[in-house]
Structure 1
Amino acid sequence: MRTPRTHVLRIRGGLSVRIDLRAFAVVALLLAAALAASILLIGTGDFPVPAGDVLRALAGHGSRGQEFVVTELRLPRVLVGLLAGASLGLGGALFQSLTRNPLGSPDVLGLGQGSTAGALVVIVLFSGSAAQVAAGALAGGLATGTALYLAAWRRGVHGYRLVLVGIGVSAAVTAVNGYLLTQADLVDAARAVLWTTGSLAGRGWEQVWPLLALCAVLVPVVLGHARALRTMEMGDDTAYALGVRVERVRLLLMVCAVLLTAGATAAAGPIGFVALTAPQLARRLALPRRLKSAGGGPVPGPNLGPSTAMGATLLIVADWTAQRVFGADQLPVGVVTGSLGGVYLLWLLVTERRAGRI
């Protein structure tokens, strides 16, 4: 088996960091693509702004009108898109690595539906404000994640059991969401349906700062456990033998993944399939030679960095595409990602079945 090319960076004090050159290049290219798409997205709308003027406005050298449009109206929307996409990409990579299953995504496990249920409870029963809806979505995601972990526990949590339990939880919570919508009055029902499509429209700095703080805390925690996560992909027994506290690490990373997913949903609504597709696309870019493991599947490795960058890029490109094709705010970005992600899910199921893994 050939292994990806790596470089060892030595730091003072005897420490060293191993860098996967291919993954590093993929992250750099994806971040460049996300930056370019962000500039184009900021300039798109009823008041178009050329890319050069966008850069000047961001640097504080544009006209007063351009600076208002760029920094107050459109920049927060783009930042929410970048942070939400990165959170979903990283959360999806964690779940797929922990379950060792490409279907181990928050979309399949019901976490997005759980966050939606929390938001619908606040909208339908209490007619809550935007901040209260976001808090409800976060609480709903945490409650669903806790229920999922407890239901899948049996002397530990294993991949396929977690996926199967998650499918059942997703179906149950989806039914609850449908019931809540039937109990809403016309105004609350319209508001709830709009929120459940997943959109970046109208997002402001009040959504940026909480999500940025959440990412600033959780991303370093996740990356600090990347080596343990990679070891766990070789099997629990091997990880135990190498000194990894498997259940403790698994629980910590599941909590991080749930918080990342719920935080992104609270900020932007339930944007489907980014968490499913971003890790898989990132893996294929980082491993272009189709390296195989002994079992015939993809080479183990969570690919956390590429998945995070891929999630941010996918969401921003999807939002830019929706605005360019259908006009600003006419098509929520969740519709675009859901349509493309559904096709990708069907292709993934066919591929996994042909490979004999499902």
Structure 2
Amino acid sequence: MNPDLRYENRSRSEAVTSMLLKKFVTVFAVLIILTALLFLTGLSVGSTMLNPLEVVKHLLGAGNGEHTFVIDTLRLPRMLLAMLAGAALGAAGLIMQGVVRNPLGSPDVVGVTGGASFAAVFFITFLSGSVSIKWLPFAAIAGAAVVSALIYALAWKKGVTPVRLVLVGIGLAACMGALTTMMIVMGDNYSTSSAYLWMTGSVYGAKWSDVFSLLPWIVALIPLSVLFAKASGVLELGDEAASGLGVRVQLHRLVMLAISVGLAGSAVAFAGGIGFVGLIAPHMARKLVGRSFVYLIPVSALIGSMIVVIADIVARTAFLPMDIPAGVFVSGIGAPFFIYLLYRNRHQ
């Protein structure tokens, strides 16, 4: 190749990379600011309205302590749990869509969330009277892991293809939904109401222990997914092309699937079955920063956080004094969005 032409191509590539990086930094900074404003709003509104300036003073340790219980005990852990759960679901959805190479792929669509819900409802219906409720998150994570392993095993045929993963996942999601409904019908009134509330998804009654239990999953798995982001982008070119470029396709797909399951399972374990966040957030992120996985992962996580925080703020203020589960409002947006995606991709 002509040296001048090679230099020109390299310069053009560097210019494009620099432009994408600047765009990402700008978008990320704006999202951070919006998330912080939403966080402050969430701490200020509710059955007891607080002045945002007083909330800021309290967070900086300069307050008079008048609102310590409302902020520190009731609202702060709730907002933090909403942010963490939303970030986990947003990143998990992006990773799942990359693994299955399908814009409709998300943990709740392909059965991962269904496995967590089945295990949690089983625990609430049959074990809550004899086993401490503290074990509920572990049951949900275990359910997500078992169903994901089953999906992978059933989809295996000299390797795993995205199409088989989606089809098997949708089938198992339907089975999990039917079994979950059957258990709810069999349970008593108290167990049924608890299971329905959990399945809808809510951060009501969040505790600091929930925040500290979910935080390690986010801190460990989201940075890990960024390390595999470059290979995930190559994988979108197809299995044969990725293999030709040196990507160990099946191993990478298994690792990324495990990361997605860990993020989705842990979020569902502590915030309940909040659906569609993993479907909506990645699509919004692609509109903002393009298709680079390195940029998409943090942006999807931030958008996921914002979605759950907004839903929770609306849920606990729109119908005062009632506190509606946040999952109701997310589903109200997510279901039409899912139908829109089906329509848009009907010829693919």
Q: Aligned AA for 1:116? A: S
Equivalence for 1:6: 17
Asked if structure 1 preserves the Cα contact closer than 8 Å seen for 2:81 and 2:206, the reply is: yes
306, 318, 323: which one pairs with 1:330? Answer: 323
Deviation for aligned residue 1:329: 5.2
Greater helix fraction, Structure 1 or Structure 2: 2
In structure 2, what is the Cα distance between the partners aligned to 1:59 and 1:322? Answer: 27
User: Equivalent residue of 2:318, what SS?
Assistant: helix
The structural deviation recorded for 1:189 is: 1.4
Equivalent residue, structure 1, for 2:341: 348
Q: Deviations over 1:273-331 (max 9, x none)?
A: 000110011111224xxxxxxxxxxx575721211111111111111122232236521
1:231 aligns with 2:234: yes
- Tell me the SS of whatever aligns to 2:167: helix
Q: Identity rate of aligned residues, in percent?
A: 35
Q: Mind listing any 5+ residue stretches in structure 1 that lack a counterpart?
A: 9-18, 288-298
Contact kept in structure 2, 1:60 and 1:67, CA below 8 Å:
no
Please tell me whether the aligned partners of residues 58 and 67 of structure 1 are also in contact (alpha carbons under 8 angstroms).
Answer: no
Partner AA of 2:195 in structure 1:
A
Instruction: Check whether the contact 2:38–2:309 (CA below 8 A) recurs between aligned residues.
Output: yes
SS at 2:18 equivalent:
strand
Q: Partner of 1:113 in structure 2?
A: 114
Query: Any conservation in 1 of the 2:109–2:173 contact (CA below 8 Å)?
Result: yes
CA-atom RMSD in angstroms: 1.8
TM-score, normalised by the number of residues in structure 1: 0.89
For residues 263 and 257 of structure 1, the distance between their equivalents in structure 2, rounded to whole angstroms, comes to 10
Q: Which amino acid letter does the alignment assign opposite residue 312 of structure 2? A: D
**48 and 130 in structure 1: CA distance in 2 versus 1, 3 angstrom threshold:** farther
1:328 to 1:341, Cα distance in 2 relative to 1, 3 A: farther
Runs of 4+, deviation exceeding 4 Å: 299-302
Structure 1 letter corresponding to 2:340: W
| TM-score calculated relative to the size of structure 2 | 0.91
Equivalent residue letter for 2:326 = V
Residue correspondence of structure 1 range 295-306 to structure 2 within 5 A:
301=293, 303-306=296-299
User: 1:73–1:325: structure 2 CA closer, same or farther, 3 Å change rule?
Assistant: same
CA contact (8 A) 2:222 2:297 kept: no
Q: Indicate the residue corresponding to 2:201 in structure 1.
A: 198
- SS of the aligned residue for 1:106 comes to coil
| Cα distance in 1, alignment partners of residues 37 and 206 from structure 2 | 20
Alignment check: 8 A CA contact 1:112 1:270 kept? yes
Counterpart contact for 1:201–1:329, Cα < 8 Å: no
Worse overlay, 152-161 or 267-276 = 152-161
Matched, 1:254 2:257: yes
Alpha-carbon distance in 1 for matches of 2:188, 2:315: 30
2:201–2:273: 8 Å Cα contact kept in structure 1? Answer: yes
Partner of 2:5: none
Structure 1 residues 12-161: aligned runs within 5 Å: 20-127=21-128, 128-161=131-164
Report the CA distance shift for 1:300/1:40 in structure 2 as closer, same or farther (over 3 A). closer
